[in-house]
Amino acid sequence: MMRDLVQVNEGSGPPTELIFGDWYPAMRTGGLRAGKTAKAMLLGVPLLVGRKNDGKVFAMRDLCPHRGIPLSAGWFDGETVTCKYHGWRFEPCSGQCREIPSLTSFETLDPTKIYAGAFPCEERDGYAWVYLPEAGTGRVMGELPPVPEVPKFSARFRSAHLMAELPCNVDHGIIGLMDPAHGPFVHQAWWWRSKASIHEKTKHFEPIEDSENNGRNAGFRMSSHAPSANSAPYKLLGVYGEPITTTIDFVLPNRRYETIRAGEKWFASLTTVTPVTASTCRIDVYSAWNVFYWVPFVTPIATFFGARFVRQDQQTMIEQAEGLRFNPGLMLIDDADKPAKWYFALKQARLKGTGEHPLQGPVTLHWRS
């Protein structure tokens, strides 16, 4: 759908460092029937994603360990993937080789000792989440962090998802996502807000430490607060007359969780900005809610407005990427760009393994938006 609107490979900006050792959404799984495969790319790693006959999704490195041809050039029968070149056959969840057709009784080579690259892969919220280990750490063993998921607060809910490819590196995608100051300019609309509605805001933040894991999924929370008076969708939620609480969490490597609750009613979303390559990324938004559960057309309408919102961000970043190609110096100002500064500090702490957090405690920021 939206991916057809732009050519993201054109004019990709400068690359950035990538965070391995975590879960990333590779693709939507709704169209992936048993016995089918699809190609995807995460952090510059080509993937063959598929679904076995038993329903389990898998993600293999899309390269045959024999001589490097993409496994996607071969065949999948719902149980094993067969390479097109010499017919080596692999179990796709483990990557284990099951057969090398050229072997004779004169050989002692045990095919089951050979493994194609295969990554942990789990389905959540209609995405194939793939765990990409640090390079050179071998097959993934031991306990993995939990698979990210949108929190749900009732058994019945509706959901929607949006996706947009961005021609910039993941850092620009993420700081664009958490940037409060672009709203009145990029997202102008009569039903949302205008430049004229800019006013001063005070927001409270607190650190999310994740110290048990040395800050692996550290981040920060914008604490519960009464929603922006100039945001129409929040006014709509207010029809239930309950006090509204909102939390927005950003956690490494790339996740923004938003939760809005008013009594029994809730809306939650998980937005991720995922590196496709070191210089391109993709934004995915998955939302779930039980507000207006019985009202028809809410899902298509919400999706329509959400898509418009994401498209405005996407269009802006496409224009920004044109400039970034020239490697300009950039600046981050206080307080509106403070969350972006925290993001860069958190990312460096994770890459260096220092476990340091840029927030010592609660912080209040002020900006106009």
Task: Report the C-alpha gap between 326 and 172 in whole angstroms.
Answer: 15
Q: According to CB under 6 A, which residues from 85 to 124 bind ligand FES?
A: 85-86, 88
Applying CB under 5 A, does 258 fall inside the site for Fe ion? no
- Please state the closest distance from residue 111 (CB atom) to ligand FES, in A: 11
Q: How far is the CB of 183 from Fe ion (least distance, A)?
A: 6
One DSSP character per residue, 264-290 reads TEEEEEEEEEEEEETTEEEEEEEEEE-
Q: Are 236 and 4 in contact (CB under 8 A)?
A: no
Helix (H, G, I), strand (E, B) or coil at 246: strand
| Contact stretch for ligand FES (CB under 6 A) within 21-29, 83-91, 250-258, 310-318 | 83-91
Q: Is 22 in the site for Fe ion (CB under 5 A)?
A: no
Cβ proximity to ligand FES: between 100 and 251 the closer is 100
**Closer residue to ligand FES, CB minimum distance, 88 or 267:** 88
Enclosing H/E stretch for 214: none
313 contact, one of ligand FES, Fe ion, none, CB 5-8 Å limit per kind: Fe ion
313 interacts with Fe ion by CB under 5 A: yes
**Residue 128 CB partners (closer than 8 Å, separation 6+):** 25, 26, 27, 28, 29, 32, 40, 49, 57, 59, 121, 122
The answer to whether residue 366 forms part of the interface with ligand FES (CB under 6 A) is no
Q: What angle do CA 186, 285, 221 make, to 5 degrees?
A: 80
Nearer to Fe ion, 72 or 287 (CB): 287
CB of 113 to ligand FES, least distance (A): 15
Buried b (16+ CB within 10 A) or exposed e, 195-231: eeebeebebebebbbbeeeebbbbbbbbeeeebbebe
Contact of residue 88 among ligand FES, Fe ion, none (CB under 5-8 Å per partner type): ligand FES
| CB contact set of 86 (below 8 Å; sequence gap of 6+) | 66, 67, 100, 101, 102
Say how many residues touch ligand FES, by CB under 6 A. 8
Task: Give the contacts of 306 (CB within 8 A, at least 6 positions apart).
Answer: 160, 162, 285, 287
Region near ligand FES per CB under 6 A, out of 47-55, 62-70, 133-141, 155-163? 62-70
Residue 311 near which of Fe ion, ligand FES, none (CB within 5-8 Å, type-dependent): none
Minimum CB distance to ligand FES smaller for 64 or for 130: 64
Binding site for Fe ion (CB under 5 A): 313
Binding site for ligand FES (CB under 6 A): 64, 66-67, 69, 83, 85-86, 88
